[in-house]
Structure 1
Amino acid sequence: MMKRVLVLMGGRSAEREVSLVSGAEVAKGLRARGYDTATLDFRNDMAALMAALEPRPDVVFNALHGRYGEDGCVQGVLDLMGVPYTHSGLLASAVAMDKTMAKRLFADAGIRCPEGVVVDRATALAGDVVARPYVIKPNNEGSSVGVRIVRAGDNAKPFDEATWPYGEQVLIEPYVPGRELTVGVMGDRALAVTELQPQAGFYDYEAKYTAGKTTHVIPAPIPDDVYQESLRLALLAHRTLGCRGVSRADFRYDDTAEGGGGTGRLYLLEVNTQPGMTPLSLVPEQAAHLGISFTDLVAWMVENARCDD
């Protein structure tokens, strides 16, 4: 008999709408493969989750994005209940979501990241903490939620302190010029390198999830040594955090006149432990590039689901 799968989706984070689309696509793909599939729009209602887990599914497909679904909270509950789930476990999920902590591990593994500082909101608004241009972002959000670039000559405040909904901590990093690259990892294999070319501005939330806003170029048109190093670093970052299943590593590649290109100009921005599964998402696109269909991808994730040891 095919496994019974519960797809968790939606949630209450800033990435709720993306998660709903991911979950719907996953459920459709799993049903096409014959899995007995149910869905739950999980809004941190533990009673609803407990009810959905009875009778006990064989696997939970975690299609939640952002806080409470991607940061180890749900993973811990499922570990306690002994229900196998897709993607990374509690510790890897929590560390990856905390960008500052993840950077410390990446540095120990020899992976270059933009140097950054974490300050409170008032300090971030009081003046330039690092030289312009620089990037302001929440310390524990994904999908470029809340990311701002502060450039020379900008006069407006990067955000409104009164309405900043992402917590007290603000991460500030030097802006790395150049090209946006991303690499999906599936188990012990780095899939491919995609270059992301936004039609305007930078690869922000709107550019990620609005059709026609960004061109995906796969394989990325970069030197072969940079391509291979991107694959190597993505897999190394996946292993450094202790990820399992599918993840995605995002990079900046500085090939400007000042940067000069070369593998020494690759910077890891972050690892996403639960990449999107929408029609515009990058990991399914890379898998398809290698001949792995969407239904094969989500079936592989279900068959490789487990709890933390």
Structure 2
Amino acid sequence: MTDLEVLILAGGLSHERDVSVRSGRRVADALRSVGVSAHVHDVDGELLGYIEQTRPDVVWPILHGSTGEDGSVRDVLDLVGVPYVGTDAAGSRLSWSKPVAKTLLAQAGARTPRFTTLPQTLFRELGTRGVLEKALEVLGLPLVVKPASGGSALGVTVVREAMALPQAMVACFAYGDEALIEQHVSGTELAVSVIDLGDGPQALPSVEIVTEGAYDYDARYNPGRSEYFVPGRLDEARERAAGELAVLAHRVLGLRHLSRTDMIVDDDGVPWLLDINVAPGMTETSLFPQAAAASGYGAGELYAALVTQAAAG
């Protein structure tokens, strides 16, 4: 399909290394299935030398966690001067910080649960009890506690009783120094992926997620824990509203090529924005590939189109 040489970055040192490795291998296999030359390389001390020596036409960073999604690896790729698939460093930084992304989207008219952010250092200065009591008083129960930056539901806890909040904070701080505490919204859990192949961002069919208990790391990446409906079991108006929210997030944050927005659609049909991902998972249970398949794209054809778009600048 194309004679481009593609280098896929997968691995790294984050808590989500295993997901990144699995995603990178699957994307490489999909590209090879349509005749694209694709190689996978870890993010290590040999990477820059390898890029300088091989000069790939396009790099695809399929990295999760801090350096993979906070813009830093993309900054380095810009310094090296190699095109890459996905959002640039600036858009990645905005999306990586959940409080920043949610604030920008709320200003643009999106609905997002009311939240507060609490760095771990604040508790040393003000004390834990008073701060958490005030959060409970203002936000109420149930709550969701999550790292202000991070993915794959690591460190995320749904808090339904006040006594559980301190332990939820401890679990959160194991994965980051800043906690986001937000009101829990009930409804249909959706992921809506967006692609832009040069004609503007378009939403793929929604993926509805049904799982017993929390949609945690195990439920996301181990087959059998969760059930998916693609497209989601929504009426036309709600599906359209969900897609519009995902496209809005893509546009407002200045994202590029592909993204995924996670949301809850409440009983009134209102989509509530939860999180934006610039490097969606690509494993066998991941949501972006399911949405792409439901839209009629073959994985290899779509990934090759994204690579071609990146190479074109």
Fold-level match, TM-score > 0.5? Answer: yes
* Alpha-carbon distance in 2 for matches of 1:85, 1:290: 24
Task: State how many pairs are aligned.
Answer: 297
**Structure 2 residue aligned with 1:206, among 198, 215, 218?**
218
Cα deviation 1:153-187 (Å, max 9, x = unaligned): 65474347499332321100011112201111011
**Structure 1 residue aligned with 2:303, among 282, 288, 298?**
298
CA 1:134–1:162: 2 relative to 1, 3 Å: closer
* Alpha-carbon distance in 1 for matches of 2:167, 2:222: 23
Tell which deviates more after alignment, 132-141 or 160-169: 160-169
Compute the displacement of 1:96 (Å).
0.2
Question: Retained in 2: the 8 A contact 1:9–1:41?
Answer: yes
Question: Retained in 2: the 8 A contact 1:85–1:307?
Answer: no
Residue in 2 aligned with 1:228? Answer: 240
Q: Which runs of 5+ in 2 are unaligned?
A: none
CA 1:298–1:125: 2 relative to 1, 3 Å: farther
CA 1:28–1:158: 2 relative to 1, 3 Å: same
Compute the displacement of 1:233 (Å).
1.1
5 Å-filtered alignment, 1:1-309, equals: 2-42=3-43, 45=44, 47-53=45-51, 54-121=53-120, 122=123, 126=129, 127-128=132-133, 129=135, 130-152=139-161, 154-155=163-164, 157-159=166-168, 161=170, 164-187=173-196, 188-198=201-211, 200-255=212-267, 261-262=268-269, 265-305=270-310
Amino acid at match of 2:240: Q
* Alpha-carbon distance in 1 for matches of 2:249, 2:48: 34
Compute the displacement of 1:306 (Å).
5.2
Question: Retained in 1: the 8 A contact 2:260–2:276?
Answer: yes
* Alpha-carbon distance in 2 for matches of 1:108, 1:34: 44
Residue in 2 aligned with 1:258? Answer: none
* Alpha-carbon distance in 2 for matches of 1:194, 1:167: 28
* Alpha-carbon distance in 1 for matches of 2:104, 2:182: 17
Amino acid at match of 2:289: P
Amino acid at match of 2:208: E
Query: What percentage of residue pairs aligned between the two structures are identical?
Result: 39
* Alpha-carbon distance in 1 for matches of 2:251, 2:164: 42
CA 1:162–1:291: 2 relative to 1, 3 Å: closer
Amino acid at match of 2:155: G
CA 1:235–1:119: 2 relative to 1, 3 Å: same
- RMSD (Å) for aligned C-alpha atoms: 2.0
* Alpha-carbon distance in 2 for matches of 1:142, 1:96: 11
Determine which structure has the larger helix proportion and give its number. 2
Tell which deviates more after alignment, 183-192 or 200-209: 200-209
Question: Retained in 2: the 8 A contact 1:252–1:268?
Answer: yes
Amino acid at match of 2:210: Q
SS at match of 1:230: helix
Cα deviation 1:4-45 (Å, max 9, x = unaligned): 111100111111110010011011112222222221121xx3
SS at match of 2:30: helix
CA 1:15–1:125: 2 relative to 1, 3 Å: farther
Tell which deviates more after alignment, 213-222 or 156-165: 156-165
Question: Retained in 1: the 8 A contact 2:155–2:172?
Answer: no
Question: Retained in 1: the 8 A contact 2:146–2:172?
Answer: no
Question: Retained in 2: the 8 A contact 1:150–1:158?
Answer: no
Tell which deviates more after alignment, 270-279 or 127-136: 127-136
Question: Retained in 1: the 8 A contact 2:206–2:231?
Answer: yes
User: Please, what TM-score do these two structures have when normalized by structure 1?
Assistant: 0.90
